[in-house]
Amino acid sequence: MKFTDEEYSLIQDYLNDNLTEGNRLRFEENMKNEEFKLEVVTQLSVLGALQDEANASLKEKILTFETEVEKAKETVKPITKTKVIGIGKYLKYAAVLVLLIAAVMVFQWSSNTTLSSDEIYAQAYQTYPATEIKRGKEDEAYTVLKSAMDLYRNGKYTAALTEFEALNMNDPNVNLYIGVCAMETSQFDKAKTYFDQVKESNATDVKQVAEWYSVLVHYKLQETEEFSQGLDEILNNKAHLFYAKAKDLKSTL
Amino acid sequence: MDISDKFFLHWALKTKACVKPRNKLFGALQRQCFLMEMTIEEVKAFRDELIAGNTSRLKTIYLAFKDDCVNFLNVKFPSANQNSEDIFNDALIVLHNNIVAGKVTHFTSVKSYLISVCVNLCKRNNHLKNNFEKKIEEIRLHFSLFSDSSIEEEEEKDFMRATSKEALTSLSEKCQTIITYYYLYQMKMKEIAEKLELSSADVAKTLKSRCFKSLIKKVNELLKSRS
């Protein structure tokens, strides 16, 4: 059956809920016609089916939201695991690297602890302290000695050495200071001579000081045999003033 | 962070909603707030996206409210336990269709809206019926239409769905769009004309009538050939 435009329009208005009161009556009248009724039902069925289809497609899409989340969870987990493994590997490498760096640092540190001969000398050497010289008679010699001691005290070893030597006193104490001034000014041979003179004296304390300084002079002059002999002599005497120092020096070597 | 996450966070921040992380893996996607408001502009933007086939915001809503709605249904309608997820999915379809049809202009709470739809679906025995199905029922009731058994009806519906889909896809792309926009999305002729770049709403109306007649004709041909 071919429907008129008016009938077609009635169906469309019904589908879109746009029927006026008059058109509703006309629509209901037409619905008595089976063919018209069938056409309405067909159109509704087609549109209903299309709407169902659209809803079904949307529902499929909605269901993918959940599967996307599940998939994401599944993919994220292994990634996280891989990352952990990766980090583990890196940690291993990092640990090896840290150990290597530590080893190098320890090596460098230990290298640093292996002191040079100069450093050993510097560690062992200590300037003999300046003492007050008391003499009853304030003569010219006393004045020079006082001046020399002042120079010594002030670290002016070259000038002090000159003044001490000018005294020409052959005194173990003065000779000790001359020897120390010689050491301070790197005149080790001169120092050795003066310390030897002190060692030959009877002044026990000053003698032990000279023995210690002699050991250092031998070390500086690389006189190995004399150095070892002098060091052992001090070490054999626990009561020696420089026993502890000698022991330290031996261990450092 | 994709655009839907930003959208969701914008909501959450705007409404100062209670945001709690659901799952560390999904951060913003799995956050939820108790009150989600959507302004007219936001709903309009949402509608445009849905018409264009972009469902990213719908996905965000799904992820944000699914658990709460399903839990609510399980507590309030214990008998619907097995179908509660289906009901929520149907509620989301209702939300989609109502936004696209322009029936919803703004939300004071999307979550409350979804829960209300879920409750209505539960009360209607979990069945999502479209307007056309309702009209057929109306005709059956008022004009003593045939009464088939439910099994036959279901078979007929599946058959009709396949036939209608085939008929629609046989039409030109413009016809498919205009039928979808007008009958399924319930868009106004003026808007259809704008979207399809037609000169006027009248042109769109004429085109729609021709396309629809072609569709029905094609369906009838297919039905005849298959019967």
Q: Are B20 and B8 in contact (CB under 8 A)?
A: no
> How do residues B22-34 score in pLDDT, each as one tens digit?
444 344 444 444 4
Report pLDDT for A178: 92
Residue where one domain finishes, among candidates B123, B145, B176? B123
Whether the predicted pLDDT of B130 surpasses 90: no
Q: What is the mean pLDDT of chain B?
A: 78
Tokens coding A38: 């069938």
Phi-psi region of B16 (alpha: psi -120 to 50; beta: other; left: phi over 0): left
Tokens coding B172: 């030109």
**Do A51 and A125 have their domain in common?**
no
Report pLDDT for B36: 67
Q: How far apart are CA A26 and CA A14, in angstroms?
A: 11
**Do B16 and B104 have their domain in common?**
yes
Give the mean pLDDT of B28-52. Answer: 73
Query: Which A residues, 36 through 75, put their C-beta within 8 Å of a C-beta on chain B?
Result: 37, 39-56, 58-59, 61-63, 65-66, 68-69, 72-73
What is the number of residues in chain A? 253
Residues ≥6 apart with Cβ < 8 Å to A90: none
Give me the residues paired with residue B38 across strands: B107
Residue A17 in domain: yes
Whether the predicted pLDDT of B4 surpasses 70: no
| CA B198 to each of CA A192, B171, B174, B179, B201: distance values in angstroms, whole numbers, following the listed order | 118, 18, 11, 15, 8
- Angle, CA A221 vertex, CA A219 and CA A223 arms, to 5°: 65
Report pLDDT for A110: 62
Residue A96 in domain: no
Q: Are A54 and B180 in contact (CB under 8 A)?
A: yes
**Do B10 and B117 have their domain in common?**
yes
Whether the predicted pLDDT of B226 surpasses 80: no
> How do residues B101-121 score in pLDDT, each as one tens digit?
998 888 888 888 888 888 888
- Angle, CA B125 vertex, CA B123 and CA B129 arms, to 5°: 100
**Do B59 and B148 have their domain in common?**
no
Residue where one domain finishes, among candidates B73, B96, B123? B123
Q: Are A51 and B134 in contact (CB under 8 A)?
A: no
**Which residue range(s) make up the domain with B108?**
3-123
**Do B13 and B102 have their domain in common?**
yes
**Do B95 and B190 have their domain in common?**
no
Which residues in B112-124 are b (16+ Cβ under 10 Å) and which e? Answer: ebbbebbbebbee
How many folded domains does chain A comprise? 2
Q: How far apart are CA B187 and CA B192, in angstroms?
A: 7
CA distance B173 to chain A (A): 15
**Do A248 and A125 have their domain in common?**
yes
Contact A63 B89 (CB under 8 A): yes
CB nearest to A53's CB, from B62, B165, B213: B165
Report pLDDT for B25: 35
CA A93 to chain centre: 18
Residue A132 in domain: yes
CA distance A103 to chain B (A): 41
**Do A69 and A175 have their domain in common?**
no
Contact A37 B133 (CB under 8 A): no
- Whether chain B has a CB inside 8 Å of the CB on A25: the answer is no
- pLDDT tens sequence for chain A (253 residues): 677 888 888 888 888 888 888 888 888 888 888 888 888 888 888 898 898 889 888 988 888 887 776 666 565 444 444 444 556 667 777 888 888 888 888 777 665 556 677 888 888 888 888 877 666 566 777 778 888 888 888 888 988 888 888 877 788 888 999 999 999 999 999 999 999 999 888 887 788 889 999 999 999 888 888 999 999 999 998 888 888 888 888 887 7
**Do B101 and B165 have their domain in common?**
no
Straight-line distance from the first to the last Cα atom of chain A, in angstroms, rounded to the nearest whole number: 124
* CATH classification of the domain holding B168: 1.10.10
> How do residues B189-199 score in pLDDT, each as one tens digit?
999 999 988 88
**Do B77 and B106 have their domain in common?**
yes
ipTM of the complex: 0.78
Residue where one domain finishes, among candidates B104, B123, B142? B123
Phi, psi of B32, rounded to the nearest 5 degrees: -145, 145
Report pLDDT for A79: 40
**Do B181 and B222 have their domain in common?**
yes
Q: What secondary structure letter does DSSP report for A17?
A: T
**Which residue range(s) make up the domain with A188?**
121-252
**Do A147 and A239 have their domain in common?**
yes
**Do B114 and B211 have their domain in common?**
no
CA distance B29 to chain A (A): 10
How many folded domains does chain B comprise? 2
Q: Is the pTM of this model over 0.90?
A: no
Whether the predicted pLDDT of B46 surpasses 70: yes
Residue where one domain finishes, among candidates A74, A105, A132? A74
Residues ≥6 apart with Cβ < 8 Å to A41: B136, B139, B145
Report pLDDT for B139: 77
Whether the predicted pLDDT of B5 surpasses 60: no
* CATH classification of the domain holding A128: 1.25.40.10
Q: What angle separates helix A243-252 from helix A117-124, to the nearest 10 degrees?
A: 160
**Do B18 and B88 have their domain in common?**
yes
